[in-house]
Amino acid sequence: MIVATIHIDNKPYEVQEGDNLLSACLSLGFDIPYFCWHPALHSVGSCRLCAVKNFRNEEDTRGHIVMSCMTAVCDGMRISVKDPEVLEFRASVIEWLMLHHPHDCPVCDEGGECHLQDMTVMTGHNYRRTRMRKRTFRNQELGPFIYHEMNRCIQCYRCVRFYRKYAGGRDLDVSGIHNHLYYGRFEDGTLESEFSGNLVEICPTGVFTDKTLRKHFTRKWDLQTAPSVCVHCGAGCNTIPGERYGKLRRILNRYNHEVNGYFLCDRGRFGYEFVNSDRRIRRAHLRPGTSDRSAELEPSSKEAVVASLEGILANGKRPIGIGSPRASLEANFALRSLVGPDRFYTGMPESESALVSLVLETLTCGPAVSVSLREVELCDAVLVLGEDVPNTSPRLALSLRQSVRRRSLKIADKHCIPLWNDRAVRKVSQEAKSPLFLATVAATRLDDISAATFNGTPDEIARLGYAVAHELDPAAPPVEGSTSEEHVLAACIAGALKAAERPLVVSGTGCGSEAVIIAAAQVAAALHRVGKTAGLSLCVPECNTLGVGLIGGGHLEAAFKEVTSGAADTVVILENDLFRRADAKLVAEFFKAATHVIAIDHLFNQTASHADLLLPAATFAEADGTFINAEGRAQRSYRVFPATDEIRESWRWLYELMQAAGKTDLPLWTTPDDVCRSIAESIDALKPLGQVAPPADFRVAGLKIPRQPHRYSGRTAMTAQVSVHEPAPARDADSALAFSMEGFHGHPPNALLDRYWAPGWNSVQALNKFQSEVGGPLRGGDPGIRVLEPAPDREATYPESVPEAFSPRAGERLIVPLYHVFGSEELSAVSPGIAERSPGPYLGLSPDDAESIGVDEGRNVRLTVADVVLVLPVRLIPSLPQGVTGLSVGLGDLPYVQVPAWGVVTRAKAGD
């Protein structure tokens, strides 16, 4: 960094030479109003609000107005941010924008957190001088997530720049000209992009608002919020959920420079409504009579359930515990403590367990280092092996979209175009892309930016990876019998990775193949051998897959065996619907064999309906918890509101069960910190867990951090229909956060940062005030700590064998999993909006295969895998290789089928 000294209103400041003047001024703490500029989208100079005055030198008293967003900082620069002419011009800009703005703030969802409101107040414009009629538009129906109100638009172009240029969407654009610009779709219809929810935060006013919030609307200042972590995939994006009256109302992005930055995917933003679902288990349930489970589960009292548990746990055979990759470390560890490490099972099927162990081994053995989402954006050549990233880890896909821009930025740099000058960068670079290679079973939504794609079976994908490794380093085993096309592709990929400054390999558990993950590790290792520091990003399916993997335990089939063999008769199932992870017949046999089934979960699901005892578990919104994301970053999520009814944190239930079971040497657990301490003591890899977040007794100047903003209204009247006496606020002994509007309202440690607000900045843009520099890390460092680091200087080793080439089997097809961002994840799929976007279960066939079977799109076919028979409609997927059939995973009530596997597909018979 070259330091430049600039004078702002005659005071010297040190900034970075060549930096964007607006960004530099905001980082210095100056309030310069802006609209079209965004730290992630950079400068285009359209709104003209960020005017400042530039003076040629000390003698120049007149100066001239420049747009700070379009001006580079240079040493010796003299500017004024409060020159009267500047202030007059900025007020004019607001006046122009207000010519047509409807001034409907009282009924606008954005009101109170509106950047336009803030900027209007900041510039001081307040009197309407025009007599013009306001222009009006017809609004569009944009689907379940986004509400459209075009009349409010101030034409800053941010929405289309984000949607199209940043997120790669195609169905939102600006049309029209002069003062009749329309931002919308070509026609009414659901926004296609899985990042559409970010429009809510990108739009500086209320054109695009959260439709799910609208259904149970609450002003920003009335929301109780807490720092949280998304539970709907393995990326671990940071979120700010908001609650009022015991209902979760919405999710906003929580900035973490290393992880999600400014953006979330729609599954993460709109999947929250399962928390409010009618299917929530709110009370403890007991099944009367224990022998044949013929009786229905009945709501019971917590005391009665615990009392009956006492008998079961103390007198029966020792119980086993089945944990869950979607439950927190605390919950899983508590279960492990209840049943003992050797009787704890991770809750993942054998196949998945093996994949997760492999991922953990790869990330801890090195030599490649797992990279954060931010680092992904810096990688200038990427190979994706096997993972359908937009569906399994959407936020990573958004980062990959940014990574291909490295080439553009390099070209712009060569032309001396500052990288923040967005349109100039795009012009000189012509959006040239760094290489992204996609080897997946079928086409993905990243194909449009890829340099080359390869669709094949998991083994073929693995073979391609091995071939690339061999091209990079001849010491890696060669791949025999590959076609010349495959050879050329492998050489091309190897060449691009080798030529890159920061190559990246992306893979994961998605295609269910160990060979693919090994191949990805091989490519990274080979790059290491030829002197390249390769990044590795391995996707895992759930929010705590790696966490439960690190705790360790047997797989699901082993748990089943333990019970069916009679070695155990009691099972405690933690936040896990076994029917989603194992063959229904096996699960049913298992339940039949188990004398006592105790389930702890959020929602009534198939597993819950088989339980003899059911305990209501708090969701992420009602429980503190620590999760480890795919990067290997441990992050603490805090409860947003106190659980109601009998709902409690899973670890608290389990702690109670430990007491009920009369366990001796019981650790003293009163807060999640205590549980984390026990975890750190007993699991090596999780030693640093205590540093993830400030302890429960953390205070700033003796004060807790309030979850409610200082403008929280109606507190004294919220429960007046029950009693006119204001109840005492719920106490939170578990963390430094309080269920209160009283406490420290400044900038707390970032792990506890639960909203963005600064004087004059009521919108999400107040975030600027919490960053060390605008768009950079949070002041004081980003929350979360990495727990997985490879051993230093590990030499790459290569396995001996390479998977065989794919040979189709007569009469059988290889069934591979296909994922959907909306629908494949269990909890989010319960949310109505996500459910609306989710397709029904289907079987994907290539058109040729469909023709050979004699079926068309939409016609039913019969799939037989092992002894499971399914009847599913056909969806034609042209990119699927011949002989390979895709099974939609996790959708609707589709039973679990372990894939990849060989199966038979035939036309459905009458009556199917």
Partner 1 sequence: MERPLTRNFRPDGPFDVKEYEKAGGYEALRKVLTGMSPKQVCDEVRASNLRGRGGAGFPTGAKWAFMPPANGEDRPRYLIVDADEMEPGTFKDRLLMEGDPHQLIEGIVIGGFAVQADVAYIFLRWEYKLAEKRLRKAIAEAYDSHYLGRNILGTDFNLELYLHVSAGRYICGEGSALVNSMEGKRAIPVARPPQQTESGLWGRPTLMNNVETMCNVPHIVKNGAAWFQGLSVCEDGGTKIYGVSGKVKRPGAWELPMGTPLREILEQHAGGMRDGVKFRGVLPGGASTEFFGEEHLDVSMCFDSLAQVGSRLGTGSLIVLDDRTCPVGMLHNLETFFARESCGWCTPCREGLPWIANILKDIEEGRGQPGDLEILEAHTRMLWIGRTYCALAPGAMEPLKSALRYFRDDFERHIRDKRCPWR
Which residues in this chain contact partner 1 in the complex, by CB under 8 A? Answer: 45-49, 51, 64-66, 70, 89, 92-93, 96-97, 99-100, 129-132, 155, 157, 174, 176-181, 415-417, 421, 423-424, 427-430
CB of 157 to partner 1, least distance (A): 8
CB of 694 to partner 1, least distance (A): 44
Q: What residues have CB less than 8 Å from 205, skipping those under 6 apart?
A: 101, 108, 110, 114, 115, 116, 117, 152, 153, 154
DSSP for 164-205 reads: IIIT---S-EEEEETTEEEEE-SSS-----TTGGGHHHHSSS
Q: How many CA atoms lie less than 13 Å away from 730 in the CB half-sphere?
A: 16
Q: Output the 3-class SS for 460-513.
A: HHHHHHHHHHHHHCCCCCCCCCCCHHHHHHHHHHHHHHHHCCCEEEEEECCCCC
Q: Which residue's CB is nearer to partner 1, number 56 or number 907? A: 56
Q: Which residue's CB is nearer to partner 1, number 130 or number 713? A: 130
Q: Two tokens at 126? A: 């307040």
CB of 424 to partner 1, least distance (A): 6
Q: Which residue's CB is nearer to partner 1, number 48 or number 249? A: 48
CB of 220 to partner 1, least distance (A): 26
- Distances in whole angstroms, Cα of residue 857 to Cα of each of 846, 847, 853, 872: 10, 9, 12, 11
Q: What gap in Å lies between CA 621 and CA 642, rounded to an integer? A: 9
Query: What is the residue whose two structure tokens read 């079961």?
Result: 312
Q: Which residue's CB is nearer to partner 1, number 130 or number 797? A: 130
CB of 133 to partner 1, least distance (A): 9
Crossing angle of helices 84-98 and 115-123, rounded to 10°? 140
CB of 430 to partner 1, least distance (A): 4
b/e sequence 105-127, b meaning 16+ C-beta within 10 Å: beebbbbbbbbbbbbbebbebee
Look at residues 825, 240, 329, 831 and name the one whose alpha carbon lies nearest to residue 624: 329
CB of 132 to partner 1, least distance (A): 5
CB atoms within 10 A of CB 48: 18
- Give the bridge partners for 224, in sequence order: 243
CB of 194 to partner 1, least distance (A): 25
Q: What gap in Å lies between CA 514 and CA 524, rounded to an integer? A: 16
Q: Which residue's CB is nearer to partner 1, number 47 or number 611? A: 47
Q: What gap in Å lies between CA 505 and CA 58, rounded to an integer? A: 53
- Give the bridge partners for 894, in sequence order: none
Name the burial class of residue 856, with classes exposed (0-12), middle (13-18) and buried (19+) by CB atoms within 10 angstroms of its CB.
Answer: exposed
Q: What gap in Å lies between CA 308 and CA 397, rounded to an integer? A: 49
Q: Which residue's CB is nearer to partner 1, number 11 or number 133? A: 133
Q: Which residue's CB is nearer to partner 1, number 107 or number 177? A: 177
Q: Which residue's CB is nearer to partner 1, number 87 or number 588? A: 87
Q: Two tokens at 663? A: 């366990």
Q: What gap in Å lies between CA 516 and CA 513, rounded to an integer? A: 5
CB of 130 to partner 1, least distance (A): 6
One-letter amino acid for residue 545 of the chain: T
Q: Which residue's CB is nearer to partner 1, number 101 or number 707? A: 101
Q: How many CA atoms lie less than 13 Å away from 116 in the CB half-sphere?
A: 28
Q: Which residue's CB is nearer to partner 1, number 98 or number 599? A: 98
CB of 436 to partner 1, least distance (A): 20
DSSP for 199-238 reads: HHHHSSSSSEEEHHHHTT---GGG-EE--EE--SSTT--E
Helix spans in 340-393 (H): 350-365, 373-377, 389-392
Q: Which residue's CB is nearer to partner 1, number 11 or number 178? A: 178
Q: What gap in Å lies between CA 510 and CA 440, rounded to an integer? A: 10
Q: Which residue's CB is nearer to partner 1, number 160 or number 540? A: 160
Q: Which residue's CB is nearer to partner 1, number 44 or number 870? A: 44
**Angle of CA points 435, 436, 441, to nearest 5°:** 150
- Give the bridge partners for 173, in sequence order: 184
Name the burial class of residue 564, with classes exposed (0-12), middle (13-18) and buried (19+) by CB atoms within 10 angstroms of its CB.
Answer: middle
CB of 417 to partner 1, least distance (A): 6
Name the burial class of residue 282, with classes exposed (0-12), middle (13-18) and buried (19+) by CB atoms within 10 angstroms of its CB.
Answer: middle
Q: What gap in Å lies between CA 52 and CA 49, rounded to an integer? A: 9
Q: Which residue's CB is nearer to partner 1, number 121 or number 491? A: 121
Q: Which residue's CB is nearer to partner 1, number 117 or number 256? A: 117
Q: How many CA atoms lie less than 13 Å away from 902 in the CB half-sphere?
A: 7
Length of the chain equals 912
CB of 201 to partner 1, least distance (A): 22
Q: Two tokens at 888? A: 């939609």
Q: Which residue's CB is nearer to partner 1, number 93 or number 643? A: 93
Q: Which residue's CB is nearer to partner 1, number 202 or number 524? A: 202
b/e sequence 231-265, b meaning 16+ C-beta within 10 Å: bbbbbbbbbbbbbbeeebbbbbbbbbbbbbbbbbb
CB of 842 to partner 1, least distance (A): 36
Q: Which residue's CB is nearer to partner 1, number 63 or number 690? A: 63
Q: What gap in Å lies between CA 753 and CA 240, rounded to an integer? A: 9
CB of 428 to partner 1, least distance (A): 4
Tell me which DSSP letter residue 666 carries.
-
